[in-house]
Amino acid sequence: MSDNITQAPQENAEKDPSDWVTGDEPMTGPQRSYLQTLAQEANVDVPDDTTKARASELIDELQQKTGRGQ
């Protein structure tokens, strides 16, 4: 039996947050929740008006700082 499922190319699987069409929108609920957890562990504050793109960048930064997501 053959699978005819076509997968999207992986070469552009991850876009730079500054290139996101919706990057200026408010961060999502899951981003807010995870950022709050990371920020608490890293002892930093995250502004309530953080955008989706900035939240993604902060998540990456705080994962490095806290050792999560490795």
Cα-to-chain-centroid distance, residue 66? 15
- Domain assignment present for residue 10? The answer is no
- Domain assignment present for residue 16? The answer is no
pLDDT band at 16 (very low <50, low <70, confident <90, very high): confident
| Kind plus residue range of the DSSP H or E element containing 54 | helix 52-66
- Residue 43 class from Cβ within 10 Å (0-12 exposed, 13-18 middle, 19+ buried)? exposed
| Domain boundaries, position 29 | 25-43+50-70
User: 10 Å Cβ neighbour count for 35?
Assistant: 20
**Tell me, what's the pLDDT at 4?**
56
pLDDT band at 69 (very low <50, low <70, confident <90, very high): confident
- Domain assignment present for residue 19? The answer is no
- Domain assignment present for residue 13? The answer is no
| For range 6-22, the mean pLDDT | 64
- Domain assignment present for residue 7? The answer is no
**Is residue 39 a contact partner of residue 13, using CB atoms and an 8 Å limit?**
no
Q: For the chain, what is the domain count?
A: 1
pLDDT above 70: residue 5? no
Tens of pLDDT, residue by residue over 20-40, are 777 789 999 999 999 999 999
Query: How far is it, in rounded angstroms, from Cα 29 to Cα 66?
Result: 21
